[in-house]
Amino acid sequence: MIPHSPLQTDLYQLTMAAAYWQAGKAEQESVFHLFFRRLPFRGGYAIAAGLEPALEWLEAFRFGKGELDYLASLRTKVGTPLFKKDFLDYLGELRLKLDIDAIPEGDLVFAHEPLLRVQGPILHAQLVETALLNILNFQTLVATKAARICRAAAGGPVIEFGYRRAQGPDGGLSASRAAFIGGCKGTSNVLAGQLYGMPVLGTHAHSWVMSFDDEAEAFDRYAEAMPDNSTLLVDTYDTLRGVDHAIATARKLRERGHELSGIRLDSGDLAWLSQQARAKLDAAGFPDVKVVASNDLDENIIESLRHQGAKIDTWGVGTNLVTAADQPALGGVYKLAALRREDGSWQPRIKLSEQTAKSSIPGRLQVRRYEQDGLIVADAIYDVDRSIADGTAVIDPGDPIRRKEIPAGTAFRDVLQPVMKNGARLAGAESLDVIRDRCQAALAKLHPGSTRLANPHAYPAGLEQGLYEARERLLAEFR
């Protein structure tokens, strides 16, 4: 595991910090937003994740002697110190004074909506950008992938077991945590089980079977060692013959007062093999023995197998989940949106772009989520310093033709919640079970059309009409 360090950042954050300090702007109050512009996996939603690890990192933010000595050793191209001693002394005394509002972990989030609103001295807010993006981008991506996989499984348990294929130890732990938030039942990652209180699950490898001269003996010996926790991998040699050997082991277990937990299929035609295995198990009197399937599964393969009538009870998903193989990055960004003037008022700031959708959204933003008849119907991004009408419209910032009228009186809640004030957390850590339940409750309120794997209905999420008009005026002024 990588220790918390303020050097988990890009060099340009530190050079900007030095320049803010030199220019006398270090303490100017600012607002930044962390958001993404496109939903991942061409899907209809994303699941916010990574907030708790981000808050832990922020709490631990200190420049110690080791970090300062390293920064003091850096040199410019002409050999002079990159950072002045007075600036490094300033960093040594630095304590973050940030206010943070965030979408709770497990809740839904859509394009352009801030997962975080970060407010405080601009030097402080700048220094945390890279780490916040690193933590929230990846965990939001994997939690969303897990939610898609679990919905494809239609209630069948999904086990994450991709640690061996993950991008390093820390990536593996982060992926295990995020996968559980997205709906996975448990993980094969024992350290994740210890650290996060997640259920740990697993079978055995082909090497166990191959270490014996006879598959039947291998199954018997494993069952003797794990009589109440035996799921047998049956495809080392001949899968259906392996099922027969597993049934023989199951009978011996039953005679001793135990039951075989399951069999696992890891290769071949999973639909056909699972049907044949289920028929054999049922005919032998073992209807409760589960059929577990693995082998490079993802949401599309799982959905296809279910449509083929596969008799699979539990899904083991590794590589495609923990690496988010079909989209390896979320693409989240962190943009300055407002600066405090000397008179105390806020000056909106905006980044221009040749692409309208890539121009940033100015102001101090909040997300208002509207609900009708038990379903959420639209999200309006608005500026907390501007009034928002009871009846308004939600406008897609990249395509103004796409708009959703919100009738007056529609029920709503504001999604971003305060989680840190002046650098101090406002509440303790939530359990992963609570976060996971929040995810399932949020998905249940989203129209089924928006949870489709392919060509989902686009949930109306965009700018509240007043903010949209203010942004257009500001774009025109700067251009």
Quick one: 171 and 266 in the same domain? yes
Quick one: 423 and 384 in the same domain? yes
| Residue 460 resides in a domain | no
- 412 and 389 Cβ atoms separated by less than 8 Å: no
Range of the domain at 228: 145-322
| Residue 465 resides in a domain | no
pLDDT given at position 355 = 64
Distance (Å) of CA 442 to CA 109, 175, 321, 332, 471: 10, 21, 21, 21, 30
pLDDT given at position 275 = 98
Number of domains, the chain? 2
| Residue 453 resides in a domain | no
Quick one: 393 and 418 in the same domain? yes
Q: Low-confidence residues of the chain, pLDDT below 70? A: 1-2, 353-357
Q: Which of 32, 89, 24 is nearest to 362 (CA)?
A: 32
pLDDT given at position 351 = 83
Sheet holding 99-102, edge to edge: 346-348, 333-340, 29-35, 116-121, 99-102, 417-421, 424-425
- 419 and 101 Cβ atoms separated by less than 8 Å: yes
pLDDT given at position 185 = 97
The CATH number assigned to the domain holding 99 equals 3.20.140.10
Beta-strand relationship, 290-293 and 262-265? parallel
Quick one: 104 and 208 in the same domain? no
| Residue 462 resides in a domain | no
Tell the residue number behind the tokens 């395509």, with chain if given.
399
Quick one: 413 and 433 in the same domain? yes
pLDDT given at position 359 = 81
CA 161 – CA 316 distance, rounded (Å): 7
